[in-house]
Amino acid sequence: MPKIIKSRTLIFLISIGLSYLLPVIYQDIVGFLLILSIGIIHGANDLLIIKKYTKKDSLKSQISYFSYYLGLVFLGFLFFYTFPSIALLSFVLVSIYHFGEQHWESNILNIDMYKGRKNFPIILHGSTFFLIIFINNIDAVNEVLASFNTIFLDHFLLQTLLIILFSIYMLTLLLFVSYRRYFFGELLFFLLLYLLTINSTLIFGFSVYFIFFHSILSIKDQVRYIYENDKSQHIKKYLISALPYFLLALFFLVGFYLFIDIESINILPIIFTFLAAITFPHVIVIEKMYSTMK
């Protein structure tokens, strides 16, 4: 069994065990801590990535890029506050692509396929992840949707869609020779994710994927891109560079919680709004990073 499958399986088994041992409140605490630490840090060095691929490192350029980036984050908050239903849908669709892209770019290298065909498994991976999360946390998901004044999801419809899309995904991996050797890994990955999310809370299940199968992989790719390799000293430099932006992000999150009245007694809508606001510009930066790495 390949090393990557062994490590994934171990992470899932530990997480599944914790989901049975930890009360709901402690699962959410662990999930929030992971998201608000590693999760934020993985997107805190976008300006370094922009500096790398634009090859512009003057102070004026950095201030300009920072202003544009911050402006996009504020627009994200405004988008959610003004059009919550559309914004939430946009966040899910963007995240489907972003999570799928990170998964395939980090774990599966040198796939010789044209862009359109390569996007197919990317979208199917991301869609499968969200459908599993939604199905096994349908009440919590609908609670979040209610706070954004949007329609509820139907459990049967989601299950039907999952069966269809996951079947297409597995057939895609079997039909194309370049993907065939990843069939077992993907099948086991989603089986273990399903088992985890059956018993875990929405936040805990989401955080396990978001941190261990997205954020940490993204950090490693970003370090390699910025510093040419991912040695420990460069990871340390990455974390130090991320610290100011990490603290700034937490400052805005606290301010949003204190001053914006959007079901303030429910933390989930605030967390998802915050994640969405910083995700939109981050996805653009990471997409550009991967396109320049080819």
Per-residue model confidence as pLDDT tens digits over 76-126? 888 888 888 888 888 899 999 999 999 988 766 555 554 556 788 999 999
Q: Residue 268: is its pLDDT beyond 70?
A: no
Measuring CA to CA, which residue among 153, 93, 160, 151 is closest to residue 127? 93
The shares of helix, strand and coil residues in the chain, as percent rounded to the nearest 5, are 85, 0, 15
Cα angle: 137, vertex 127, 116; to 5 degrees: 175
With cut-offs at 50, 70 and 90, classify the pLDDT of residue 148.
Answer: confident
Q: How confident is the model at residue 150 (pLDDT cuts 50, 70, 90)?
A: confident
Per-position DSSP letters for 30-48, written without gaps between them: HHHHHIIIIIHHTTTTHHH
Rounded Cα gap, residues 135 and 62, in angstroms: 43
As a whole number of angstroms, the distance between CA 257 and CA 39 comes to: 18
177 — pLDDT class (breaks 50, 70, 90): confident
Q: Which amino acid is at 235?
A: I
Q: Does the pLDDT at position 69 exceed 90?
A: no
Distances, alpha carbon 260 to alpha carbons 150, 156, 247, in Å: 19, 35, 20
**158: confidence class by pLDDT, cuts 50, 70, 90:** very high
Cα–Cα distance measured from residue 236 to residue 246, given in angstroms and rounded to the nearest whole number: 15
pLDDT computed for residue 57 by the predictor: 73
Please determine, for residue 262, whether its predicted confidence score (pLDDT) is greater than 60. no
pLDDT at residue number 165? 97
Find out whether 245 and 281 touch, Cβ atoms under 8 Å.
no
| Cβ neighbours for 158, distance < 8 A, ≥ 6 positions apart | 131, 134, 135, 138
For 112, the token pair is 């010789």
pLDDT band for 154, please (50, 70, 90 cuts): very high
8-34 pLDDT, tens digit each: 999 999 999 999 999 999 999 899 889
Distance CA 270, CA 258 (A): 10
| pLDDT attached to residue 195 | 97
Across 152-178, average pLDDT: 93
According to the model, what pLDDT value does residue 143 have?
Answer: 85
Burial status of residue 121 (CB atoms within 10 A of its CB: 0-12, 13-18, 19 or more): buried
Nearest residue to 11 via CA among 162, 272, 215, 248? 215
And the tokens for 90? 């946009």
| Type of residue found at 153 | L
**Would you state the structure tokens that stand for residue 46, as one six-digit string?**
């976008």
Residue that wins the pLDDT comparison between 235 and 275: 235
The percentage of residues in the chain with a pLDDT greater than 70, rounded to a whole number, is 90
pTM of the model: 0.87
pLDDT classification of 43: cutoffs 50, 70, 90 = confident
Confidence band (pLDDT; 50, 70, 90) for 266?
A: low
Structure confidence at residue 169 as a pLDDT band (50, 70, 90): very high
- Asked whether 287 and 101 are in contact (CB, 8 A), the reply is yes
What does the pLDDT read at residue 97? Answer: 93
Mean pLDDT of 29-46: 88
What pLDDT is stored for residue 149 in this prediction? 77
